[in-house]
Structure 1
Amino acid sequence: MAAVRGTIAFRNLKPPVSDETLQVLDSFGFHTATPVQASTIPLLSTYKDVAVDAATGSGKTLAFLVPMVEILRRLTDPLKAFQVGAVIVSPTRELASQIYHVLGPFLTTLRGVQAMLLVGGTDVTAEVAKLKQTGANVLIGTPGRLYDIMERVTALDFKNLEVLILDEADRLLDMGFQRQLTAILGHLPKQRRTGLFSATQTEAVVELARAGLRNPVRVEVRTQAKAQAADTESFQSKTPSGLTLQYLICEGDEKPSQLVHFLCQHRQNKIILYFMTCACVDYWAIMLPQLESLSGLQAVALHGKMKQAAREKALAMFSGMTAGLLVCTDVAARGLDIPGVDWIIQYDPPQDPNVFVHRVGRTARMGQSGDALVFLLPKEDAYVEFLRIRKVPIEERPKCSSVPNIVSVLRGAAAKDRDIMEKGLRAFVSYIRAYKEHHCTFIFKWKQLEAGLAAMGFGLLQLPSMPELKRNVLSIAGFQPAKGIDVSSIAFKEKAREKQRQKNLANKPPRQPREPEPDRAPKKERKETAEKRRLHQKVEDDEEMNREYRLLKKLKKGTLSESEYEQVMSMPDMQLVEPSSNVDEVQDSTHLNGRGSDSKLSKRFARSTSRSQSKFKNRSVASTSKKRQA
């Protein structure tokens, strides 16, 4: 394992970096290599596979772009149009686009080498047509699109591939790209140099390294941070050394007020605000700038459900700001190098704890300083110790007690505009369901979530109809429905949308009354236990035997004729009139129906009596056996 501390000038690296590459680095303002660059560039440049584990914001992008360019520069035979010399795989479109634009100035120093960006959200047919016409030597893209292009464009020649880079490898696996990565590796020659870069080394990453790398050199670079409290020993931190981390504990209905108070204090800063879901981003991105205390705030939304063009526009807009707010999901948590970010705010902790260090890594990059704040509910305070165990130092930020009540403002805005009301409802529902997907369920206990307070924090006027609330799975204590407001009459501020809504309501067929369901027996009566069923069956059998026995006795005594007996036996439900109790009416058995002893009836009586006695005897023995076993 290679470990490098300190810095070294790019000009002093061995083997030496070409003058053309040094000029591009100088134009970027990069004169000194970071530890990860100083250790990785020489290894990749000398044709060694590397598995790099370095803190986010440590300069991993240049750590693989510089040696890749140097390897392509040293080729004795220039690459032809359809010969691919390098492939870079990235988990997200934004990160792939960033790598593509950073690589651009370096490729201008290589004669005839062309790169192409291949990501989802663009017209794949146009990309296929362009590749078939002009080809490309360096492919940069996301796994799904790269695999698709490899299958469609058979003219691309990968036999001369020199370098394969897997950036943010842990994220590639977490997002379910295992099948695509395996297929991509199957298209590439084994005689290549491979670089695997990640901020966290998971078991899946180790397995990928074993499958895709040959005798790799592991490079691990960590920053030194001071220990917390009384402990003065230093430890290896997974966060940048210039980063200050804080946490703030408050209830769900207090979070909006604390957030707005913080944003008011830092209006001149460039801030990234993270939420768990796309619906939450849509709600807060439109709601925050409408608050009077935040008037003039430039807020940009970014999440995975936006179209590719809108995502690129949002990222470019925020990158060009000197102060403003990017409201986003974890789509902007990995690898993006956005200049000048002062604060990272995590309104919701990430579902995957590994993403925490990637979120906060968007600030304090390349040795700069930065700050980060995470909001926690009172029942989530164990997350603080969890972070410290994972070598993420964090301090408490006290809650401000004298802040304006923003919840009433949120509810007032929802009562005036149906768009805000519906966005708030969708955000709340998505938050409740996303909370259930937390990886750390021992800290983020879904059934202990105060849904009522959370609903107040989203400015809801009424609770939505959802199973989690109907069945009392979650607590709705603390929620106060808005009085005197008919939510069905709230209109859209946008006239065109309101007109369409009214049209839809007019065309909506009247609701048919539901037919009453037939009465059903109570569940306890419907479902009898097996023991009760056996008991009922035994009682019925006993009654049947007793009935048959009594009939035979009547037949024997002559109070019942044989034809009557046969008729009664063929109709089990037929009721008999009990014979008179007068002894004079009972005939002697030897003079049945005025005849002598009837052997046929005697035999039938004997068989029935024997059968009844045998059944009673067997049940008595079984009952005694069960008692002994008990």
Structure 2
Amino acid sequence: MQEKRGVDTFDNMSSRALRDLEREFRFGSVGTLVISPTRELAMQIAEEAKKVVEKERKMHVHVLVGGVKSIRQRRPWDLYPKDIVVATPGRLLDLLSIPSFREALATTQTLVLDEADMLLELGFREDIQSIISHLPSNEQRTTFLFSATMDPSIAEVARASLHEKHRFIDCIPPGEDCVHKRIPQTITTLQNASEMLAHVMRLIAHDQMIHGPRSKIMLFTSTTKLTDLLANMVQSMLPALPGSNNTQVFRIHSMLDQAKRSRISQRFRQCDNLPSIMFTSDVSARGVDYPSVTRVIQLGVPPSKAMYVHRVGRTGRRGRDGRADLVVMDFESAFVAFQLDDMPLEDLNPASFATQVEQLSQECDREPLPKLVAPIEPRLQTLESALIPNAQSRIQAETIQGVFSSLFGYYYSLRQLLRTSNAHILDSVQSLIQGLMGLADKPTPSPAMRQMLGSSFKPERRRGTKRLNNRDTKPSKFRFKGPSSGKYPRS
């Protein structure tokens, strides 16, 4: 009887009253709330949502992300209906202190948690729980959870946010491999960091000689400061590449403001007639779609196996070919052995690969591809003799210390996965910086590093830091000092 009265009430309402009621509902209630872990992904989702509703002039998409002043997002909130809201957890929590946001979210009809595994990995579990506490119960809303990996932590979030009778849908057809399993993947383990720049440049040159102007590379690094350093160094070494100065170099990381990150993303996305390289931190690792990426290069181990999978997933998308290369130092071997043991990684010997690149350059010089600058082989030979030492000589002292501190902090946070001692992490990172930057001596730990190391820190006496002369001396080799693989407990 109650439902019948409700129908009679609506039937008896005038058209104007119905329009007013509809307006009140659409302006005062969120239709669909999409929560994304990063700004880049949130903005990409919003752009796609706008395309879906572009023919529905009444429908509006709100974007609530950090990196821009909140006032720019608060004004449209009161002026337009809240049909689709795409947000990052931090900005959404900030805005929940405003009554109009709380009231609208309290009647949300649909919740979407995108890249749920990354939301957890970035530490948003409590934020997500707090946001969900402001929404209707899971019996009163429709909820979707999307994740590329499904580990126990994801299952726990699913139980908390989804209806108890939720369904699991696997988007990978039976018998078909995941993208990260069918992409050719190599691993190069370097004994000496002085080989790193030359090897990375050969990987880039290899891709350019194969794909010509369609070469589109994403190079992932461990920290923001390392991203900036490598982008600057490679920029100065472009003359050695097959694409030479035609090569477009981009960089993106969390320290750039959102407007700049958006412009860079769009430029890289649209770059399809010149060789291009995007140096990036993990802000680009998940969900963000850069079409036609021909190769992913990872410098150093990622923070987790899931992040490795997501990085690899930037290439070979939509059925296209792709390739992934992982370049690590010897002290990172335990991470590879135990975290990536089921990945189809093929060993790539740097010396053999250098020969392969040399032979390919000779072939390209005989039949050059468009946008590649001939001759290639003589210019590649200038890498170790001139271009790398020149790039290293330009590095400022404050840059050395900044990259050293950031890398030590990164690897220190992975000490359990690296299965080695704090002292060995320090020594290994020092050797990494020494070889990468061409220093005669290892950099000196900061007071903050010494405090983190505690009693394991034993200072060394030094005469000072000098630039390494590649023609006279080389940094000493170092090897992984952990226990033998047979003594490791399997994780």
Interval containing the TM-score (normalised by the shorter chain)? 0.7 to 0.9
d(CA) in 2 for partners of 1:326 and 1:306? 14
Asked if 1:138 is matched to 2:84, the reply is yes
d(CA) in 1 for partners of 2:194 and 2:42? 38
In the superposition, relative to structure 1, how do residues 91 and 239 fare at CA in structure 2: closer, same or farther (>3 Å)? same
Secondary structure of the residue aligned to 2:123 is coil
d(CA) in 1 for partners of 2:186 and 2:122? 28
Q: Any conservation in 2 of the 1:238–1:357 contact (CA below 8 Å)?
A: no
Structure 1 residue identity aligned to 2:125 = Q
Residue 175 of structure 1 deviates from its aligned partner by 1.6
Q: Any conservation in 1 of the 2:187–2:328 contact (CA below 8 Å)?
A: yes
The partner residue of 1:351 within 290, 300, 303 is 303
In the superposition, relative to structure 1, how do residues 383 and 187 fare at CA in structure 2: closer, same or farther (>3 Å)? closer
Structure 1 residue identity aligned to 2:408 = I
Residue 249 of structure 1 deviates from its aligned partner by 1.7
**Aligned pairs, how many?**
395
d(CA) in 2 for partners of 1:474 and 1:273? 34
Partner of 2:111: 164
Please show how residues 464-479 of structure 1 align to structure 2 within 5 Å. Answer: 464-467=443-446
d(CA) in 1 for partners of 2:110 and 2:344? 37
Structure 1 residue identity aligned to 2:296 = I
Asked if 1:173 is matched to 2:152, the reply is no
Asked if 1:197 is matched to 2:149, the reply is no
Partner of 1:616: none
Partner of 1:299: 249
Please show how residues 53-64 of structure 1 align to structure 2 within 5 Å. Answer: none
TM-score, length-scaled by structure 1: 0.57
d(CA) in 2 for partners of 1:437 and 1:396? 26
Partner of 1:259: 200
The partner residue of 1:372 within 303, 317, 324 is 324
Partner of 1:626: none
Residue 260 of structure 1 deviates from its aligned partner by 1.2
The partner residue of 1:481 within 440, 460, 466 is 466
Please show how residues 442-457 of structure 1 align to structure 2 within 5 Å. Answer: 442-443=418-419, 447-449=423-425, 450=428, 451-457=430-436
d(CA) in 2 for partners of 1:237 and 1:446? 38
d(CA) in 2 for partners of 1:246 and 1:86? 41
d(CA) in 2 for partners of 1:483 and 1:355? 35
d(CA) in 1 for partners of 2:461 and 2:266? 41
Residue 111 of structure 1 deviates from its aligned partner by 5.0
Partner of 1:399: 350
Residue 221 of structure 1 deviates from its aligned partner by 4.2
In the superposition, relative to structure 1, how do residues 480 and 280 fare at CA in structure 2: closer, same or farther (>3 Å)? same
Residue 335 of structure 1 deviates from its aligned partner by 0.6
> Looking at both structures, which has the greater relative contact order when contacts are Cα pairs under 8 Å and sequence separation is at least 6?
2
Residue 365 of structure 1 deviates from its aligned partner by 1.5
Partner of 1:249: 189
Partner of 2:235: 289
Secondary structure of the residue aligned to 1:265 is helix
Partner of 1:182: 129
In structure 1, the gaps of 5 or more residues are 1-75, 226-235, 485-630
Partner of 1:520: none
d(CA) in 2 for partners of 1:458 and 1:464? 10
Residue 195 of structure 1 deviates from its aligned partner by 0.6
In the superposition, relative to structure 1, how do residues 158 and 380 fare at CA in structure 2: closer, same or farther (>3 Å)? closer
In the superposition, relative to structure 1, how do residues 288 and 223 fare at CA in structure 2: closer, same or farther (>3 Å)? farther
What is the Cα-based RMSD across aligned positions, in Å?
A: 3.1
Asked if 1:272 is matched to 2:218, the reply is yes
Structure 1 residue identity aligned to 2:346 = E
Structure 2 residue identity aligned to 1:308 = Q
The partner residue of 2:100 within 140, 143, 154 is 154
d(CA) in 2 for partners of 1:259 and 1:476? 33
d(CA) in 2 for partners of 1:151 and 1:242? 47
Residue 472 of structure 1 deviates from its aligned partner by 6.0
Secondary structure of the residue aligned to 2:108 is coil
Please show how residues 12-51 of structure 1 align to structure 2 within 5 Å. Answer: none
Asked if 1:92 is matched to 2:42, the reply is no
Structure 1 residue identity aligned to 2:251 = A
Secondary structure of the residue aligned to 2:77 is helix
Q: Any conservation in 2 of the 1:411–1:459 contact (CA below 8 Å)?
A: yes
Q: Any conservation in 2 of the 1:351–1:439 contact (CA below 8 Å)?
A: no
d(CA) in 2 for partners of 1:473 and 1:387? 31
Q: Any conservation in 2 of the 1:352–1:439 contact (CA below 8 Å)?
A: no
Residue 305 of structure 1 deviates from its aligned partner by 1.2
Q: Any conservation in 2 of the 1:282–1:423 contact (CA below 8 Å)?
A: no
In structure 2, the gaps of 5 or more residues are 1-20, 355-380, 470-491
Asked if 1:310 is matched to 2:295, the reply is no
Structure 2 residue identity aligned to 1:441 = L
In the superposition, relative to structure 1, how do residues 344 and 461 fare at CA in structure 2: closer, same or farther (>3 Å)? same
Residue 263 of structure 1 deviates from its aligned partner by 1.5
Residue 421 of structure 1 deviates from its aligned partner by 4.7
Partner of 2:284: 332
Which structure has the bigger radius of gyration? 1
Structure 1 residue identity aligned to 2:443 = P
Superimposed CA distance per residue, residues 282-314 of structure 1 (whole angstroms, 9 cap, x where no aligned partner): 111111110141441321111111111111111
